[in-house]
Chain A
Amino acid sequence: MTGQAGLELRGLRKSFDGTRAVDGVDLAVAPGEFLSILGPSGCGKSTLLSMITGLTTQDGGDIIVDGRVVNDLAPQERRLGLVFQDYAVFSRLSVRQNLAFGLKARGMKQAEREMRVAAIAMQLDLEALLPRSGATLNMSEMQRVAIARVLVTEPDILLLDEPMSNLDASVRMSLRTELKHIQASLNQTILYVTHDQAEAMAMSDRIAVMNAGRILQLGSPEDIYRRPSSRFVAEFIGDPPMNLLACELRGDRSDGSVVTALHGPIAVGPCRFEGAPSRLGIRPHDVRLAHDDSPQAARTRVVYIENIGAEHIAYVEYGDGLLAMATRPDQVREGETVSIVLDPKALHFILADDTVVQPGAPGAQHG
């Protein structure tokens, strides 16, 4: 079955010179799903991808594509399509030859090859580029050729290795749309590796956040954003990053409240976790301006403001440090004293073992 295949990774491991690049990864990608592996440089995501394709052999663990274990299959035989970070367009071949390459390799007859090449060229707007040499293309052209070249072979799974890092911001938007369109129209399973959380959040059905060779959390963008289960995920996702405030838990566990430098006590309900939280997390978008006499409002001074276009980030004095708060442009001015509240439904407890719990949310569990 082309395009619509599931991927399963069980206990995948790989070490280089004693360092564990991939340290026991379990992952299941549903057929037709767009799943991103998101993590910083060096987290092991490229090694993981390399093992899935077969270009690197794993030290242990299984890779299952469409129900078949492919561990012993050579990369040529796995029916996977990989788009490289640098696109790797064949520089001495024409675009047409690039597109036809995989089909020719599989022994397809010329007539059918030409038909398919024409079809994919039309689909990805490459018709004008067909006679050009691979070496003369610009970045975004190369990237479309790289994707087309792979898609035309109808791979079970489309794998992309940080495909946007070489592109300008304007071109990225069109690629995002393109990829979603491909997923929808072909029901293509897509595995997308990136370090850019905005990309992952925007495009994925689910995200697997990875660090130090392990997958820390797997969930929808909403899950990852609102209910991060570890400190790393909480800090990595969200731009600007989450505020981490010193805090103190009060009251008994069945109905606790939390106090910070300026706020509290804020009721947080049952606290089903051990020990005291080391920090209280709250995202800048969950800190709001309020009337001076609102309950739970605290007054503080705006120290400085970052203008990032559609919104401003105001940094206000908070205890020993600063709290970042998202505001509409010109809603506040530097030096002004304002009243702010913390959204009690958007709090995160960062525990001593670096797991994160969201208080009060139904079914909130240890991370």
Chain B
Amino acid sequence: MTHTEAEPIAEQTRAPVRWRIPFNVALVLPAQLVMMSVVVVPTVIVIWLAFTDWQPTQAIPWYKAELVWFWNFYDLWYDVRFTNAVLRTFVVVAICVGVELVLALGLALLFLDEWPWRKIAVSIIILPMMIIPVDAANAFFMLFNEHGPINHIVSLFTARPFEFSWLSDPTWAMLPIMLCDIWQWTPLMFLLVLTGLMSLPQNQIRAAVMLGASPTRIFFSLVLPLLTPVLVIAVLIRAIETFKIFDAVYILTRGQPGGATETISMYMYNGAFVYFRMGYIAAAALIVLLLVVSTCIALSKPIQRHG
């Protein structure tokens, strides 16, 4: 036996155990971790808070807040202001998205042919999309001021000066808010519809022409069905975004007068940061979450069929 023949048995038994993360999982980890910390953890907290009556003004940390179990949900059920906010938001979404869709369709149809200043026209028309929403809201605040240009224009048609205070009127205050949303986001719908229109199968249109179809018939029987997938995406995305509407409401009315323009987001903001009833609002958040999820599930089948 010589030295060189000695087996390094000791080294073999000392092999360390390694815990391997597959490469592809490691790649998604950073994104996943960020999502978990800012989404998953707060969701867990919300579920906890929903069953408490945490009010930060009482100087109790949230994890020690008083449990009220299902009373929050009970109160929410009878909370007219909450129900109104929910209904109001759905109505706003329906009106805004509907108007945006029709306007976008009409506008896109004007852009089917080529003319010298077409590019410039598109650039100007999509300008509203690129304004910071808060500043757009401020602009509309100024426009609808009692001494603003809107009233000035109306005055040109009426006998007496029209100094209506839009944002203080419970019936009409919602209008500037909706107009702000419509003004800012119709260009997006317009771009989407235009993209869809430009990629229509040309030969199908020509075939329809050869078969004797009038432009109206071609539009309703052929173009609209062909556009449906794009329209579904557009409506879906805008509906989700409009549902969350906050900036314009905050800047224009804060939900006033008297809650007449309170959308869901505004209601929850007021409840949490003006009245400081965060436990209660957490319960409201859960209900809204449930509403959103069930709407998505309910709509997913029809969307799959058409999209």
Contact = CB atoms under 8 A, between A and B. Distances in A.
A90 B210 contact: no
Contacts of B226: 91-92
Contacts of A101: 208, 211, 213, 221
Contact of B201 (A91, A104, A105, A146): A91
A106 B209 CA distance: 12
B4 interface: no
A116 to B, nearest CB: 13
B214 interface: yes
Given A101-B221, A105-B214, A90 B208 contact: yes
B217 A105 contact: yes
Interface in A153-197: 153
Contacts of A80: 210
B212 interface: yes
A76 B209 contact: yes
A81 B207 contact: no
Contact of A86 (B203, B209, B213, B217): B203
Majority-rule SS of A interface residues: mixed
21 contacts: A53-B210, A75-B209, A75-B210, A76-B211, A76-B214, A84-B203, A84-B207, A88-B207, A89-B204, A90-B207, A91-B201, A92-B222, A92-B228, A101-B221, A102-B212, A102-B213, A104-B217, A149-B211, A150-B211, A153-B211, A153-B212
Contacts of B209: 55, 75-76
Interface string B189-210: 0000000000001011011111
B161 interface: no
Interface string A50-84: 00010100000000000000000001110011101
Interface in A272-297: none
A207 to B, nearest CB: 24
A93 interface: yes
Contact of A90 (B204, B212, B228): B204
A106 B221 CA distance: 14
Interface in A82-113: 82, 84, 86, 88-93, 101-102, 104-106
B225 interface: yes
Given A76-B209, A101-B213, 4 more contacts: A53-B210, A76-B212, A82-B206, A92-B222
Interface residues of A, number: 25
Interface string B68-80: 0000000000000
A1 to B, nearest CB: 18
Contacts of B213: 76, 101-102, 105
Interface residues of B, number: 18
A92 B203 contact: no
Contacts of B211: 76, 101-102, 105, 149-150, 153
Nearest to A53: B210
Nearest to B205: A88
A88 B225 contact: no
A88 B212 contact: no
A61 to B, nearest CB: 21
A76 B205 CA distance: 12
A81 B207 CA distance: 9
B214 A88 contact: no
Contacts of A90: 204, 207-208, 222
B187 to A, nearest CB: 27
A84 B208 contact: no
B214 A84 contact: no
A84 B212 contact: no
Interface string A139-153: 000000010011001
Contacts of A75: 206, 209-210
B265 to A, nearest CB: 37
Interface string B29-47: 0000000000000000000
A88 B206 contact: yes
B6 to A, nearest CB: 74
B225 A82 contact: no
A77 B226 CA distance: 25
A329 B103 CA distance: 72
A51 to B, nearest CB: 13
Contacts of A89: 204
Contact of B212 (A86, A105, A146): A105
Q: Which 5 A-B pairs have the closest CB atoms?
A: A102-B211, A92-B225, A88-B203, A88-B207, A105-B213
A105 B210 CA distance: 10
A85 to B, nearest CB: 8
A84 B206 CA distance: 9
A88 B208 CA distance: 9
A146 to B, nearest CB: 8
A84 B208 CA distance: 11
A153 B212 CA distance: 9
A88 B222 CA distance: 12
A52 to B, nearest CB: 11
Nearest to B209: A75
Contacts of A76: 209-214
A328 to B, nearest CB: 46
Contacts of B207: 82, 84, 88, 90, 146, 149
A53 B217 CA distance: 20
B267 to A, nearest CB: 41
A229 B217 CA distance: 49
A153 B211 CA distance: 8
B106 to A, nearest CB: 21
A93 B221 contact: yes
Question: B201, B212, B221, B225: which has the most chain A beta carbons within 10 Å?
Answer: B212
Interface string B147-166: 00000000000000000000
Contacts of B212: 76-77, 102, 105-106, 153
A77 B214 CA distance: 10
A55 B204 contact: no
A55 B206 CA distance: 8
A191 to B, nearest CB: 14
A195 B221 CA distance: 34
